[in-house]
């Protein structure tokens, strides 16, 4: 466990201090396979918890609405420069509070209410903000969705092209939150050009893999790219927008004052740290290992009779359909959590079950790779998952596996906690 002691908080609010330490212990003792989670470094944690949280900074560097920005401006400019260098982007806005506000800012920059957009269907691996009807993006815009091929469960670019030519969207959205393969950004660019559409890529899930050169970059092909800074990028809970210089003014105006007020300066500083860490050679090794671990875990699960969407993975995540295991995704996730393995239930393409109790589970390897887990540990994880799925109501088995998991985790202290 971390030697970091919450002295002031323990004195002021011991109840909250206990809850934070309990969460820290949970993160230490359990195998965390939620694809959108990770461990940040102690340096990122420290930057997140500084006096920068005391400062309000509406506007942009050199053009603020409050005084006292001489150091804040330098911090934001440093984060921007590091992100530009890391991703090879012409312009970067580091102020979005997270990925969803970043996406909303892009809508505001390029669209008017009622304009047509084309994005990946939520049940097929897209995100809420890609035009789902329960999201503001599906309520305020005329949203159409493309899905996966029913036979291969992979993107069907001819179908996407046909939809784009039929509906003539003003913006096409590529990217995903539960698709285990690599999108063809060049083909998306060609489709967008033919349809006369702006191309936006949401790389929130695979930004760290792009930074670590383990995944193709969408930057050369997209007009605008959005991302969170956590997940595979291993930074704080924030968002960024990367775009061509000709769109810089529209994007900046859409972020502020368009969808939000002052930026969270402590998060901006933590982003700067994360971008610096991601620029180091060790991060390339890390990104490659995320993919290697995902493939190893996919192979191990397949050997045990698990049905994987697309048959495997090219990135950090695995999507498994548990229909042949006679258990729902939610029941599996609950049982696995009791056994010390944390992941989320997830809809699979053409799922016959309801979204809150779907057929699948989503598995990600970014956090366990941050701990130093390798292919051998992926085999152990697969064994544990298989045992739990075979006996989802066996509390004694779950307790035994939870103990084994805690013992394994003790050998791999996570960044920021160990």
pLDDT digits (tens, 9 = 90+) for 253-262: 999 999 999 9
**Residues taking part in catalysis:** 56, 58, 202, 228, 231, 237
pTM exceeding the 0.85 threshold for the entire prediction? yes
All structural domains of the chain, each given as residue ranges with its CATH number in brackets, are: 47-278 (3.40.640.10), 289-410 (3.90.1150.10)
Which two structure tokens, joined as six digits, stand for 357?
Answer: 């109790």
Q: What phi-psi label fits residue 125: left (phi over 0), alpha (psi between -120 and 50 degrees) or beta?
A: left
Q: What phi-psi label fits residue 93: left (phi over 0), alpha (psi between -120 and 50 degrees) or beta?
A: beta
pLDDT of residue 310: 97
Which two structure tokens, joined as six digits, stand for 82?
Answer: 């590091």
pLDDT of residue 406: 98
pLDDT of residue 2: 46
pLDDT of residue 5: 66
pLDDT of residue 1: 38
Which two structure tokens, joined as six digits, stand for 279?
Answer: 């620029």
Tens digits of residue pLDDT in 339-355 = 999 999 999 999 999 99
- List, for the chain, all residue ranges whose pLDDT scores fall below the cut of 70: 1-5, 418
| Residue reference for tokens 């940040």 | 40
């Amino acid at each position: 466990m971390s030697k970091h002691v919450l002295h002031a908080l323990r004195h002021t609010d011991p109840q909250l201090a206990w809850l934070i330490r309990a969460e820290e212990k949970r993160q230490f003792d359990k195998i965390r396979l939620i694809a959108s989670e990770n461990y940040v470094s102690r340096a990122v944690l420290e930057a997140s918890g500084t006096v920068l949280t005391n400062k309000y900074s509406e506007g942009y560097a050199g053009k603020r609405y409050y005084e006292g920005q001489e150091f804040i401006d330098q911090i934001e400019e440093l984060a921007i420069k590091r992100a530009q260098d890391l991703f090879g982007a012409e312009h970067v806005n580091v102020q979005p509070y997270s990925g969803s506000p970043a996406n909303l800012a892009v809508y505001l920059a390029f669209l008017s209410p009622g304009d047509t957009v084309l994005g990946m269907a939520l049940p097929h691996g897209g995100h809420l903000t890609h035009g789902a009807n329960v999201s503001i993006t599906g309520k305020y815009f005329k949203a159409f969705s493309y899905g996966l091929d029913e036979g291969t469960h992979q993107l069907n670019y001819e179908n996407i092209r046909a939809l784009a030519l039929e509906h003539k969207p003003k913006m096409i959205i590529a990217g995903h939150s539960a698709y285990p393969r690599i999108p063809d950004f060049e083909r998306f660019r060609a489709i967008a050009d033919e349809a006369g559409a702006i191309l936006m890529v949401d790389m929130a899930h695979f930004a760290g893999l792009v930074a670590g050169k383990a995944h193709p970059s969408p930057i050369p092909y997209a007009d605008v790219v959005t991302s969170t800074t956590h997940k595979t990028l291993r930074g704080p809970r924030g968002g960024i927008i990367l775009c061509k210089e000709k769109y810089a003014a529209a994007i900046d105006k859409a972020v502020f004052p368009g969808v939000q007020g002052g930026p969270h300066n402590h998060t901006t500083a933590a982003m700067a740290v994360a971008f610096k860490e991601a620029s180091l050679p060790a991060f390339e090794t890390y990104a490659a290992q995320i993919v290697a671990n995902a493939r190893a875990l996919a192979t191990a699960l397949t050997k045990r009779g698990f049905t994987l969407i697309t048959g495997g993975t090219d990135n950090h995540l695995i999507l498994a359909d548990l229909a042949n295991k006679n258990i729902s995704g939610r029941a599996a996730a609950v049982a696995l959590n009791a056994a010390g393995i944390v992941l989320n239930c997830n809809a699979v393409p053409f799922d016959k079950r309801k979204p809150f109790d779907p057929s699948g589970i989503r598995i990600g390897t970014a956090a366990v790779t941050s701990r130093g887990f390798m292919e051998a540990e992926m085999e152990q994880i697969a064994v544990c998952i298989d045992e739990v799925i075979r006996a989802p109501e066996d509390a004694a088995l779950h307790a035994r596996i939870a103990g084994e998991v805690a013992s394994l985790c003790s050998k791999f202290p996570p960044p920021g906690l160990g």
